[in-house]
Amino acid sequence: MLTLAAGFVDQAFAKKPTNVILILADDVGFEGLGCFGGRSYQTPRLDDLASQGMKAMHCYSMAVCHPTRV
């Protein structure tokens, strides 16, 4: 989280506040979201959010799913 927050330090002095939405999902890969080219499911709302903002392409998770199920 600190790394994510560090990217917005220069935004702290902007007149308009920055909106940040962090979506944490279990068992979702690139093939499950249309904004990443996946065709398995229809995700129009997430695709719209991704088209208007930033997509994280190089994220890593733990080998177990426990952090998303707590």
Residue 54 in any domain: the answer is yes
Residue 35 structural domain: 21-70
**What's the pLDDT at 47?**
92
When divided into structural domains, the chain yields a total of: 1
**pLDDT at 14 (0 to 100):** 60
pLDDT computed for residue 28 by the predictor? 79
List average pLDDT for each run of 10 residues in the chain, which is 70 residues long. 57 70 78 87 90 81 69
Rounded CA gap, 51 and 8, in Å? Answer: 19
Note whether residue 16 is domain-resident.
no
Q: Are 34 and 42 in contact (CB under 8 A)?
A: yes
pTM of the model: 0.56
